[in-house]
Structure 1
Amino acid sequence: MDKPANIEIYNELKRRIVEIEYKPGQLISEKQLIEEFGVSRTPVREALLKLSQNGLVDMIPRVGTYVTQVDLNEVKYAYEVKRNLEGLAAELAAQRAGEDDIEELYEIIMRFPQYDLVKDYKKCIKDDQKFHQITRKASRNPILIQTLEELNTKTARFLQYIQYVLDDYNWFHESLKEIAEAIKDRNPKAARIAAEKHTQKFLEQMSRNFFR
């Protein structure tokens, strides 16, 4: 079944905001969106309202709709919460993941050696996010998945905004492998510890460079 127009528009606008195609502070024209997507005002308005609820746009009456600024404190808090919840997701994934989920994790791990870590920083970020998205999906817990997706939107947008380049590729690659192997081995405790360590190191790196 096709997704409703407002959901498709929401997903596309969210992608543009997270990937910084729409820059912080940029005005979003409802009229242009209506023309671009070939829809009435209602689905565009519904998509923008959902983006507003998720903190990605500010809708100012009689003024316009603007992409929100990146809030460093909000990103820091998101990482702090993600540390434990990503660990829980990996723990549950080790118990519930299907073979297709595990195969997808290993496909991502295999791609990283092909990347130029400077030129391909966007691909690195997207594949890291995809890895954790698969892990969350494999948890088979819809509340956990939704919560982490909302947190991930904040952190992914931040990494794209600062054009984050991995400063320790070997650790990063081995860290993802450690999570995947624990899930494949059906070892919930090891999966949780590996995922928490992975997120904690990101938080430490961000704290040294950006957070107070």
Structure 2
Amino acid sequence: LKKRIVFLDYKPKQVLSIKELAKEFGVSAVPIREVLILLETEKLIHIIPNNGIYVTDISFQELKDVFEVRLFLIGLSGRLAAQRVTPEELNKMKELLEKIKQEKDRQRLIQLDAEFHDLINYSSKNETLADTLKNLRNRIGRLWFFAKEHDTYSLQIPKDFEELIKALEKNDQNKCEEILKNHAIHFIEQIKINLYSE
């Protein structure tokens, strides 16, 4: 359910029905209710008693706040990954990079981008940091909703990740931090261009 919200199968402001979700997932209403409460604490849905359940709209003030925190933490993740990444993790990143280069479906590209970030973050060997970044990305990731097809950010993803793998192989902390921060800034700039060029 979270995946569907984060990766835009369910759009901002979309109404969700417990009955329909229970049927779709083949479970009773009880686990669906429990999951929805958790999703509300993550600010991905909004439950209005006696009214309905909505996928939260995208609040730009909240996203600005999230982005500021994420920008700092993503740099830290890059520095720690440069010190602690294993050869196995680097190989997984290379395999994932090949999939990213081949991917033509935008929805799938968004998911692969998220997987790659998770790999980097968990290679920092700091689970609290990795989990926090994943949670923040889930909140900010829906901004893809505002990006156009074939945006320059999407085209840049393979180049950024290729450069990052090289920096990780050299254990270059400064370079890893710089690449990841620029990658995040480019994403936000792309969204701004799309929003204000209407």
- Shorter-chain TM range is 0.7 to 0.9
Tell me the CA shift for residue 18 of structure 1: 1.6
Q: Matches of residues 91-106 of structure 1 in structure 2 within 5 Å?
A: 91-106=79-94
Identity %: 32
Is residue 76–residue 203 contact of structure 1 (8 Å, CA) maintained in 2? no
Aligned to 1:145: 130
Alignment of 1:168-183 (within 5 A): 171-183=156-168
Counterpart of 2:103 in structure 1 is 115
For residues 123-164 of structure 1, give each alpha carbon's deviation from its aligned partner in whole angstroms, at most 9, with x where no partner exists. Answer: 322222221111111112122112111111122222145455
Equivalent residues in 2 for 1:41-52, closer than 5 Å: 41-52=29-40
| Structure 1 letter corresponding to 2:191 | M
Whether the 8 Å contact between 2:82 and 2:176 is mirrored in structure 1 is yes
Instruction: Indicate the residue corresponding to 2:17 in structure 1.
Output: 29
Structure 2 residue identity aligned to 1:73: Q
Q: Is the 8 A contact 1:82 1:151 kept in 2?
A: yes
Are residues 1:70 and 2:58 paired?
yes
Secondary structure (helix, strand or coil) at the match of 1:210 reads helix
Instruction: List runs of 5+ in structure 1 lacking aligned partners.
Output: 1-12
Q: Could you say what the CA RMSD is over the residues aligned between the two structures, in angstroms?
A: 2.3
- 1:112 shift after superposition: 3.5
Kindly tell me: are residues 210 and 169 of structure 1, through their superposed partners in 2, closer, same or farther at Cα, counting changes over 3 Å? closer
Deviation at 1:68, TM superposition (A): 1.2
**Superposition map of 1:121-132 within 5 A:** 121-132=106-117
Q: Residue in 1 aligned with 2:70? A: 82
Which amino acid counterpart does residue 142 of structure 1 have in structure 2? E
Kindly tell me: are residues 164 and 149 of structure 1, through their superposed partners in 2, closer, same or farther at Cα, counting changes over 3 Å? Answer: farther
Whole-angstrom distance in 2 between the partners of 1:156 and 1:203: 10
Q: TM-score, normalised by structure 1?
A: 0.81
Residue 17 (structure 1) aligns with: 5
Distance, in Å, in 2 between the alignment partners of 1:131 and 1:101 is 11
| Per-residue deviation, 1:196 | 1.5
Q: How far apart, CA to CA, are the structure 1 residues paired with 2:162 and 2:176?
A: 10
Amino acid at match of 1:72: F
Shift of 1:88: 0.9
Tell me the CA shift for residue 42 of structure 1: 2.9
For residues 103 and 22 of structure 2, what CA distance do their matches in structure 1 show? 37
Cα deviations by residue, 1:5-43 (Å, 9 ceiling, x for unpaired): xxxxxxxx1111122222222221112233333434332
**Which residue number in structure 1 is paired with residue 189 of structure 2?**
204
Structure 1, residues 31-68: CA drift from partner, whole Å, max 9, x if none?
22333334343322110001101111111111221111
| Number of aligned residue pairs | 196
2:144 match: secondary structure: helix
Q: CA deviation at 1:205?
A: 2.6
SS at match of 2:152: coil
CA distance in 2 between counterparts of 1:187 and 1:203 reads 25
SS at structure 1 position matched to 2:46 = strand
